Every structure is written in structure tokens, then in C-alpha cells.
A = this chain, B = another copy of it.
Amino acid sequence: MLELAILGLLGEQELHGYEIRRRLRDELGLFSNVSFGSLYPALSRLERSGAVETAEESGPGVSSAPIPMTGSLSGERAALRARRATGGRGRRARKVYRITEEGRRQFAQLLDNERDAAADDARSFGLRLAFARYLPPHARLRLLERRRAQLAQRLEDARAAAAAAERPLDLYARSVVEHAAESAERDISWLDRLIDAERTDDLGTPLVNMEGHN
């Protein structure tokens, strides 16, 4: 899931780890606070699997200033050089990640993976919907409808359970349960609006904009 989110962000532009975290938190609200302890290892895995490439802080337009590797540098020297790479002053050198074609393939696969997408999980759904523009229209619709069905099912089950309960819940538990039910109802009508929009859109613009590269 984290890897899906990372690849999704990198699909639009290259970013360094720290910034990926910021966007996930501030802009998308997904993964409200991914820890570095999971983010950096995830980036390493993606690099190892060929989904992303790194460049050592490529300033805009100066992406290919080759820094000759003179063999074994001591840690101190490497750090110094890295510091220089940022432009001479400021922060520690960033490692900028760029998605590869292989990465886009992996992303598409993760995004539309039946297994994961079927998970009855708000976070997974939110993440997938946030990147739904990369999904072909039918998959998008499927995503929305599946989520709707899950919520409707849960609502129905909750009502059946409440009706069958031998004794009622106390004030607080009831408040939690009822609020959850109301939220689910609102989510369902939100989904209905999205599904509607999806369907009318489909008629107007068949199979357009399936590539989301900027």
C-alpha cells in the first residue's frame, strides 16, 4: 500500500523521500503520518526492484551534471560532496526518486490488483480513488461499486444485528454505532454521486486520458 502511494506520487513528478511524506500527509491526508522507518525502506525496495531510479539532487535543468566517482571516498568526504550537490548551501543532500517504465507497470498492477482492491478497508479505497485517474474507466467504476456494495452490506448487517440484540447498547456505544451508520450512509451517497458522474462521463468521452504523465 505504501509502495502504491509512493509510485502514485512519483507518477506525476520526481520527489525525494521527505517530500513524499509531506505530500501524503498534508496534501492527500492519506497515511496521515507515515514514519521514515517505513518510508525509506520502501523506497529502497522500489529501487532494488527497478521501479524507481535515483538522482542525487538534480536541480531544475541541471539534471545530468556527472559527479565522477573516484573510487573509495571516506564517509566524511562523501558527505561533503553530497552537501555541495545541493547547490553549496542549505540542507543535506536529497535523494531524488524518479519512476521508471517498470515502475509504472508495477503501479498499474498494484492499483488494479483484484485481491488488494477487494479489501474492505477505507484507507485502501481512499488511496486507490485518489489515483483513480490512472485507472481505465471500467476499473474505476468497479472500484466505486465494490466500495459501495461493501458499505451497504455493512450497514445492513449492523441493522440486523441491532434488531436481533437481546439488550440495547449503552449511551456511548450507541453513539459510536449510530455515528458510524450515519457516516456510512453519507459515504454511500457520495459514492453514488461519483458513480453517476462516472457513468455520464463514459458516454461523452470514451477511452480518453488513460495516461497520466504530466
Q: How many copies does the complex hold?
A: 2
Is the Cβ of A27 less than 8 Å from the Cβ of B162? yes
With beta carbons under 8 angstroms apart, the residue of B29, B129, B165, B172 that contacts A131 is B172
Is the Cβ of A177 less than 8 Å from the Cβ of B129? no
Q: Within 8 Å CB of A179, what residues of B?
A: 187, 190
In the bound complex, how far is the Cα of B30 from the Cα of A130, in angstroms?
Answer: 25
A contacts with B: majority SS: helix
In the bound complex, how far is the Cα of B129 from the Cα of A29, in angstroms?
Answer: 24
- How distant is A164 from chain B, measured CB to nearest CB, in Å? 8
Q: Within 8 Å CB of A27, what residues of B?
A: 161-162, 165, 169, 177
In the bound complex, how far is the Cα of B133 from the Cα of A103, in angstroms?
Answer: 50
Is the Cβ of B177 less than 8 Å from the Cβ of A29? yes
With beta carbons under 8 angstroms apart, the residue of B29, B162, B180, B186 that contacts A158 is B29
Q: Within 8 Å CB of A176, what residues of B?
A: 28-30, 126, 129-130
Q: With an 8 A cutoff between CB atoms, is A175 at the interface? A: yes
Q: Within 8 Å CB of A158, what residues of B?
A: 26, 29
Q: Within 8 Å CB of A165, what residues of B?
A: 27
